[in-house]
Amino acid sequence: MIRIIKADGTAEREQIASMRSRAAEVGADIERAVGAVMQDVREKGFSAVEKYSLQFDRKAPYEIGMETLEEAYARCTGGLISAMEHAAANIRDYNEALLATSREWISPDGGIVGRVVRGLTRVGLYVPGGTAAYPSSVLMNAIPAKVAGVKELIMVTPPTENLNDAVLAAAKIAGVDRVIAVGGAQAVAALAYGAGFIPKVDKLVGPGNAYVAAAKRMAYGTLDIDMVAGPSEVLVIADESADPKYVAADLLSQAEHDRLASSVLLTTSQELATRVDAEIIRQTSYLGRSEIIAASLRDFGCAIVCRDLKQAAELANEVAPEHLEIVTEDPRSLLPDIQNAGAVFLGAWSPEPLGDYLAGPDHVLPTSGTARFFSPLSVDSFLKTMSVVEFSRETLAPIREEIVTMAEAEHLTAHANSIRVRFV
């Protein structure tokens, strides 16, 4: 079911190029449609949001009360609530360990310098409706924001006929402050510009369809966003010690996301590649999303046989995958060679779904090669910093002429004067 490619300097790079083509630019028709919505909401406010909500979702936006979250929580099974509470505790613990703190120190010139860390004031969380409603994403987006000290976290979700109980329960567990039933590009615009009872936010996070993604791109600058995520992907580096059954299962776990998902095996063993292919065929036969899996693996799945693990690491860095599994005899020894990945999973007992749900680190990760410069969502994503400077006359005096000299070199005489007047 997957192609097996021998790395020769050309074949593997054609495959990498094919993977990157999945993140093609949004079509002009989507850009135009979203641009019209954004402008309309910016100019007309809530009336425009209401118009588009009625047009696309057949319901006007409304606030979902906290009692509705409580009722949804009560309807969920005890097993699901227990699992979500466990996940929430791990996510909270992980982000609390990462939380940056304010600090000050004495500079070499004797003044006080430092940095003040603050949580953002208000954050929006977009949660898709329908079949794309994932409670785990609510936990992964909301809990780091609350750990950061975000004062108000507002979740928006399309006003579907039957709101997802697990999603609403996850919002309760995560401590979401408000939930508003509004979706699509109009929801993004409302949070970017403010519209009626929907307030303007400082940052918007969370996944969405192509229209939501386009709206987030257009809103960036008016507010901050997490990232514009592309199709899901996993890359597994494995040697002859790997169990083909486990490797196949992990490749399949990403292939089931959608037809554009990418699942790639980099291995030093031709035999392992062949056995993984056989396992993929066997396991796909009893999985529920077999048609999606088949399309994903046909178009964007492969096994690349590398000459050694060093070449595998080099290719992995070039791909910069969202998820990278290292399933080798000594997985940690390869970690220093990995520069670009959203999340790294070490060893046969650290499969990618562990990170999706329960380990603690976030599953909101850079895709389509953007792990070269983007980082996973975390508590850091919801913090801002302010620098602090405090000098006295005694500590400013010895360096005043250097400041004046630099200011005058830039022809900024008022800057120089600001220093001089203090010592006349």
Q: pLDDT-derived band of residue 10, with 50, 70 and 90 as boundaries? A: confident
* 209 annotated as ligand-binding: yes
The set of catalytic residues is 322-323
* 232 annotated as ligand-binding: yes
Of 229, 228, 222, 224, residue with least CA distance to 41 = 222
Return the structure tokens found at 246.
Answer: 């486990």
* 410 annotated as ligand-binding: yes
d(CA 279, CA 273): 10
Q: Report the pLDDT value the prediction gives residue 24, as an integer from 0 to 100.
A: 57
Would you say residue 120 lies in a domain? Answer: yes
* 363 annotated as ligand-binding: no
Tell me, what amino acid is at 401?
E
Q: pLDDT-derived band of residue 115, with 50, 70 and 90 as boundaries? A: very high
> What would the mean pLDDT of 268-279 be, rounded to a whole number?
97
Would you say residue 326 lies in a domain? Answer: yes
Q: Report the pLDDT value the prediction gives residue 183, as an integer from 0 to 100.
A: 96
* 356 annotated as ligand-binding: yes
Does pLDDT of 19 surpass 90?
Answer: no
Q: Report the pLDDT value the prediction gives residue 378, as an integer from 0 to 100.
A: 98
* Residue range 333-371, pLDDT digits in tens: 999 999 999 999 999 999 999 999 999 999 999 998 999
Domain range for residue 52? 45-225
Residues 197 and 263 in one domain: no
Q: Tell me the CA distances in angstroms from 320 to 26, 62, 136, 407, one per residue in order.
A: 22, 41, 24, 43
* Residue range 136-187, pLDDT digits in tens: 999 999 999 999 999 999 999 999 888 999 999 999 999 999 999 999 999 9
Q: Report the pLDDT value the prediction gives residue 11, as an integer from 0 to 100.
A: 83
Residues 262 and 145 in one domain: no
Does pLDDT of 21 surpass 80?
Answer: no
pTM of the model: 0.94
Residues 418 and 342 in one domain: no
Q: Report the pLDDT value the prediction gives residue 8, as an integer from 0 to 100.
A: 86
| Gyration radius of the chain over CA positions | 25
Domain CATH code at residue 367: 3.40.50.1980
d(CA 2, CA 294): 9
Q: Report the pLDDT value the prediction gives residue 15, as an integer from 0 to 100.
A: 80
Return the structure tokens found at 28.
Answer: 């002009």
* 126 annotated as ligand-binding: yes
* Residue range 212-255, pLDDT digits in tens: 999 999 999 999 999 888 889 999 999 999 999 999 999 999 99
Residues 275 and 193 in one domain: no
Q: Report the pLDDT value the prediction gives residue 20, as an integer from 0 to 100.
A: 73
* 308 annotated as ligand-binding: no
Would you say residue 378 lies in a domain? Answer: no
d(CA 247, CA 356): 17
* Residue range 376-394, pLDDT digits in tens: 999 999 999 999 999 999 9
* Residue range 57-74, pLDDT digits in tens: 999 999 999 999 999 999
**What percent of the chain has pLDDT above 70?**
99
Of 125, 127, 173, 129, residue with least CA distance to 150 = 125
Q: Report the pLDDT value the prediction gives residue 7, as an integer from 0 to 100.
A: 86
Residues 64 and 206 in one domain: yes
* 323 annotated as ligand-binding: yes
Q: Report the pLDDT value the prediction gives residue 26, as an integer from 0 to 100.
A: 60
Residues 268 and 338 in one domain: yes
Q: How many domains does the chain have?
A: 3
d(CA 15, CA 7): 10
Residues 185 and 242 in one domain: no
